[in-house]
Amino acid sequence: MSSEYCYGVLGWPLGHSASPALMGRIFAERHLAFTYRLLEYPLYPGIEVLAHEHPHLMGFNVTLPYKIKVYEEIVCKSAKNTAWSLSEEATACEAVNCVRLLRDSSGQFNRVIGHNTDAQGFAAALSILTQNRIQGPALIMGNGGASKAVRFACNQRKVLCTTLCRTLPTGHHNNPERSHRIWEEADATLISRNPLIIQCTPVGMWPKVSAVPPLPPQAMEGIGPHHRVMDLIYRPERTLFLDQCAERGAQVLGGWAMLEEQAIASVDFWLA
């Protein structure tokens, strides 16, 4: 494989990212002479700009805050150009965390494929956390790109989900059985009734490690030994939120296992 080829991760900010080291290790294990770089953009640049500014870029991962923006761009472009497409996983998750660029002999990119490896990575980590005995229902904290992949994976396993978000999606306001609730509704009873909790927001990520999700003051009283709690954040390896859950007897897992699994899936996708 050409050493000119490079891959990267698109997001902002990326000072916390472990992806270059992790991907470097995977490339070395597979004897691939690729480089992997941080693609830090404070404003979403668009895929065409990325491909032009990085002429040897063959693919990239996507992290906060651009997973949904990449998805929306590919949806828009694919309506007019069949060279732009989404995988089944990306379509189901309504978010993209992995993009493959195909180029012609002159180096011009002529095809874009958006994919989502978060669901696969989360499913592998969930098996570790629950020891393959997945029990719901599940409470998903956050409604961004990562949480959509988590919800997709839970739905595949017939695990009922409730999602905490800042504002309710259209049509959920007057439905007592709604699958989305605002953070203020997360009382101790709701927490207790969901033995599987997945924290999908960036709250608590380095360097703001003292932050915790915006739950009401008494909500944590619902956490107990019957809970399995996962935080998708991998830096720090264990967030303050996970520490608080563990103090109440819950089994906890940080995001590193998921990161590793989705990284391997990304390389497989790029080289397919």
Dist CA 209 CA 65 (whole Å): 19
Which CATH code fits 119-258?
A: 3.40.50.720
Asked if 33 contacts 3 with a C-beta cutoff of 8 angstroms, the reply is yes
Between CA 253 and CA 161, with CA 118 as vertex, the angle to 5 degrees is 70
Question: What is the maximum span of the chain, computed from C-alpha positions, in angstroms?
Answer: 61
Percent of the chain with pLDDT over 70: 96
Q: Out of 66-75, 78-87, 121-130, 246-255, which region has the weakest mean confidence (pLDDT)?
A: 121-130
Which CATH code fits 6-116?
A: 3.40.50.10860
| Chain segment 165-219, per-residue pLDDT in tens | 999 876 655 555 578 999 999 999 999 999 999 999 999 999 999 999 999 999 9
| Chain segment 18-39, per-residue pLDDT in tens | 999 999 999 999 999 999 999 9
| Chain segment 124-147, per-residue pLDDT in tens | 999 999 887 777 899 999 998 899
Query: 247 phi and psi, to 5 degrees?
Result: -60, -25
Dist CA 130 CA 198 (whole Å): 12
Query: 211 phi and psi, to 5 degrees?
Result: -85, 150
| Chain segment 106-129, per-residue pLDDT in tens | 888 899 999 999 999 999 999 999
Instruction: Say if residue 45 is preceded by a cis peptide, omega within 30 of 0.
Output: no
What does pTM read for this prediction? Answer: 0.87
Output the CA torsion sign for 76, 94, 35, 46: positive
Same fold, 6-116 and 119-258: yes
**Model confidence at 1: pLDDT above 50:** no
pLDDT at 175: 53
* Average pLDDT taken over every residue of the chain: 93
- Residue with the bigger pLDDT between 222 and 176: it is 222
Helix (H) or strand (E) holding 74: helix 67-78
pLDDT at 114: 98
Res. 2 pLDDT band, cuts 50 70 90:
very low
Q: Mean per-residue pLDDT for 39-65?
A: 96
Res. 92 pLDDT band, cuts 50 70 90:
very high
What are the domain boundaries of the chain? 6-116, 119-258
pLDDT at 3: 55
Asked if 219 contacts 187 with a C-beta cutoff of 8 angstroms, the reply is yes
**Model confidence at 75: pLDDT above 60:** yes
Instruction: Say if residue 236 is preceded by a cis peptide, omega within 30 of 0.
Output: yes
Where would I find the beta strands (DSSP E) of the chain?
6-11, 35-40, 57-62, 84-86, 98-103, 109-115, 138-141, 161-165, 180-182, 196-199, 228-231, 251-253
Instruction: Say if residue 13 is preceded by a cis peptide, omega within 30 of 0.
Output: yes
**Model confidence at 65: pLDDT above 50:** yes
Output the CA torsion sign for 80, 85, 91, 94: negative
